[in-house]
Structure 1
Amino acid sequence: MSTTAARMRDWRGPAILSFGFRPFFLFGSAWAGLAMVLWVMMLSGNDPLRTAFDPVAWHAHELLFGYLGAVIAGFLLTAVPNWTGSLPVTGWPLAGLVALWLAGRAAVAISALLPPYVAMAVDLAFPIALAGFLAREIITGKNWKNLPVLALLTLWTLANAAYHQQALADGLPAFGAGLRLGLAAAVMLITLIGGRIVPSFTRNWLSAQHATRLPAPYGQTDTSVVLVTALALASWVITPDHRLAATLCFIAGLAQTWRLIRWQGWQATSEALVWVLHVGYGFVPLGFFAIAGSGFLPISGAATQHVWMAGAVGLMTLAVMTRASLGHAGRPLRATPAITALYLAMILSVGARFLAGAMPGQDWLLHLAAGAWVFAFGGFAVVYFPILTKPKAAKRKVSVGINPETPK
Structure 2
Amino acid sequence: MSGTMEALRNYRGPSVLCYGFRPFFLAAALWAVLAMICWLAMLTGMASLPMRFDPVTWHAHEFLFGYLAAVIAGFVLTAVPNWTGRLPVMGGRLAVLVLLWLAGRVAMALSGALAWPVVLAVDLALVLALVFFLAREVIRGRNWRNLPVVVLVLSYGAGNALFHVEAHLSGIAFDDAGMRLGLASALMLIALIGGRIIPSFTRNWLSARGARRLPHGFQRADIVVLALTALTLLTFVIRPENAVLRWIMLSCGTAHLWRMSRWCGGQVLGEPLLWVLHLAYGFLALGFLAEGLAQFGLLSIPAARHVWLAGAIGMMTLAVMCRATLGHTGYPLQAGAGTAAIFLSLLVSILLRVISGLPWVPVAALHLSALLWIIGFAGFALLYGPKLLRPRRGKRMPNPPAVAQGS
TM-score normalised to the size of structure 1?
0.97
**1:280 is aligned to 2:274:** no
Distance in 2 (alpha carbons) for counterparts of 1:146 and 1:95: 25
Describe how 1:310-329 pairs up with structure 2 within 5 A: 310-329=310-329
- The aligned counterpart of 1:247 is 247
Distance in 2 (alpha carbons) for counterparts of 1:174 and 1:360: 26
- The aligned counterpart of 2:404 is 401
- The aligned counterpart of 2:29 is 29
Describe how 1:334-373 pairs up with structure 2 within 5 A: 334-359=334-359, 362-373=362-373
Describe how 1:7-406 pairs up with structure 2 within 5 A: 7-359=7-359, 362-396=362-396, 397-399=398-400, 400-404=403-407
The aligned amino acid for 2:404 is: G
The aligned amino acid for 1:206 is: L
Query: Is the 8 Å Cα contact of residues 242 and 295 (structure 1) preserved in structure 2?
Result: no
Post-superposition offset of 1:403: 4.5
Extract unaligned runs of 5+ from structure 2: none
Q: Tell me the SS of whatever aligns to 1:117.
A: helix
Q: Tell me the SS of whatever aligns to 1:198.
A: helix
Query: Is the 8 Å Cα contact of residues 356 and 365 (structure 2) preserved in structure 1?
Result: yes
Query: Is the 8 Å Cα contact of residues 232 and 249 (structure 1) preserved in structure 2?
Result: yes
Query: Is the 8 Å Cα contact of residues 21 and 75 (structure 1) preserved in structure 2?
Result: yes
Query: Is the 8 Å Cα contact of residues 236 and 246 (structure 1) preserved in structure 2?
Result: no
Post-superposition offset of 1:306: 0.4
Distance in 1 (alpha carbons) for counterparts of 2:296 and 2:2: 58
The aligned amino acid for 1:66 is: G
Query: Is the 8 Å Cα contact of residues 333 and 398 (structure 1) preserved in structure 2?
Result: no
Q: Tell me the SS of whatever aligns to 1:310.
A: helix
Q: Deviation per CA, 1:301-358, whole angstroms, max 9, x where unpaired?
A: 1111100000000000000000110000001111010000000011111100000123
Q: Deviation per CA, 1:367-404, whole angstroms, max 9, x where unpaired?
A: 11100100011110111111000000023223432244
Query: Is the 8 Å Cα contact of residues 355 and 361 (structure 2) preserved in structure 1?
Result: no
Query: Is the 8 Å Cα contact of residues 332 and 405 (structure 2) preserved in structure 1?
Result: no
Distance in 1 (alpha carbons) for counterparts of 2:284 and 2:68: 16
Q: Tell me the SS of whatever aligns to 1:137.
A: helix
Post-superposition offset of 1:172: 1.2
The aligned amino acid for 1:227 is: A
Distance in 2 (alpha carbons) for counterparts of 1:401 and 1:226: 31
The aligned amino acid for 1:365 is: A
The aligned amino acid for 1:398 is: N
Query: Is the 8 Å Cα contact of residues 283 and 308 (structure 2) preserved in structure 1?
Result: yes
The aligned amino acid for 1:239 is: R
The aligned amino acid for 1:184 is: A
Distance in 2 (alpha carbons) for counterparts of 1:264 and 1:201: 11
How many residues are aligned here? 404
The aligned amino acid for 1:257 is: L
Distance in 2 (alpha carbons) for counterparts of 1:20 and 1:26: 10
Query: Is the 8 Å Cα contact of residues 294 and 300 (structure 1) preserved in structure 2?
Result: yes
Distance in 1 (alpha carbons) for counterparts of 2:358 and 2:231: 27
Distance in 1 (alpha carbons) for counterparts of 2:395 and 2:213: 30
Post-superposition offset of 1:243: 2.1
When the two chains are superposed, the root-mean-square deviation of aligned CA atoms in Å is 1.3
| Identical amino acids, percent of aligned pairs | 51
Query: Is the 8 Å Cα contact of residues 235 and 244 (structure 1) preserved in structure 2?
Result: no
Which deviates further from its counterpart, 235-244 or 36-45? 235-244
Query: Is the 8 Å Cα contact of residues 329 and 392 (structure 1) preserved in structure 2?
Result: yes
Post-superposition offset of 1:54: 0.8
Distance in 1 (alpha carbons) for counterparts of 2:206 and 2:389: 31
Q: Tell me the SS of whatever aligns to 2:356.
A: helix
TM-score normalised to the size of structure 2?
0.97
Q: Deviation per CA, 1:93-130, whole angstroms, max 9, x where unpaired?
A: 11110010000011001000102211111000110001
Query: Is the 8 Å Cα contact of residues 281 and 312 (structure 2) preserved in structure 1?
Result: yes
Post-superposition offset of 1:359: 3.5
When residues 163 and 360 of structure 1 are mapped into structure 2, their CA distance, relative to the original with a 3 A threshold, is: farther
